[in-house]
Amino acid sequence: MEPGTYRRSLKSPAGEEFFDLLFFRPAAYLLVRLISRTPITPNQVTGLSLAAGLAAAWGLSWGNRAGMTWGAVLYALANVLDCADGQLARLKNTGTLLGRVVDGAADYISGVFITFGLGLGLANSGRPMWGLVILAGISSAIHATFFDFFQSEFLARSAGKSNFIDSEAGRFAAEMERMRSGPRALLKTWLLRFYLSYLRIQKILGQALEASGSRTTANGSDSAAMIRIWSFLGPTTNRTILIICALFGRIDYYLWIVVGAGNAWLAFAYILEARYRRRIMSDRRPASEGTR
């Protein structure tokens, strides 16, 4: 394995999730090495990831140990493929805005079906927990949104960019306008519009930080430490916990971990982030301001 090539296939090692760096990214890179010289495209890999995710949801819906084991294995494969599509795009330099949206939409669809599969599996095993399943699904979506916001901000600032969300919205709006007259324009513009709506949610989160007086430029080792804390709310961490719990036949443990520990970690990370950013703001005030 060539370390330089592997590193180029990553978004940024400092901004990656722990379990991605530990297992899923290296496994995906091995796959990318095998297919990088073939006509296989990143979008096709995304399609395979979605198919594996849907198959995992089907297995989890059986409500028995065999289904949970198959569901866990297939969901692990789905996550490897989810990593591989972006790594392949970066190494081939074929990444597109639409490809990013397709990847995100596939993750969203897979997540919805996995949640539904968990509910069916528990019901089929005689332990219906639909309320807890829905709460865990909503919590997982909120956790992923927060992590995505702070990861995108961290990566943008590491690259020396500012106003990330506004610039992203502008790029995607321009791309949507460009695609209106192309082939399959309706589907492509719908996908881009979907992502623009997601960016609006991200902007609301940013405005909430500004309203609390805690949103400011944050860089350096402290910022890297904060994104590592946020990373434990990322989708790969969520999937890894589900995979482990499914292998042990305890889907209920996964649900309680997401709802209990996950939301507690979200509150902890948000408070820590706000305190850190307020300290940064205080340190950057002119000395004369504190004597007035």
Place of tokens 């399609």: 47
Task: Tell the burial category of 234 from Cβ atoms under 10 Å away from its Cβ (0-12, 13-18, 19+).
Answer: buried
Q: What is the DSSP letter of 181?
A: T
Give the model's confidence band at 157: pLDDT under 50 very low, under 70 low, under 90 confident, else very high: confident
Most confident of 18-32, 68-82, 139-153: 68-82
- CA pair distance 188, 174, nearest whole angstrom: 13
- pTM tops 0.95: no
| 55-75: pLDDT as tens digits | 999 999 999 999 999 999 999
Q: Is the model's pLDDT at 103 over the cut of 90?
A: no
Out of 10-19, 85-94, 127-136, 177-186, give the one with best mean pLDDT: 127-136
Band (pLDDT 50/70/90 cuts) for residue 1 is: very low
| Domain 3-283: which CATH number of 1.10.1050.10, 3.30.930.10, 1.20.120.1760, 3.50.50.60 | 1.20.120.1760
In degrees, to the nearest 5, what angle opens at C-alpha 61 toward C-alphas 58 and 66? 90
Helix (H) or strand (E) holding 168: helix 164-179
Which one, of 71, 155, 81, lies nearest residue 115 by Cα?
A: 71
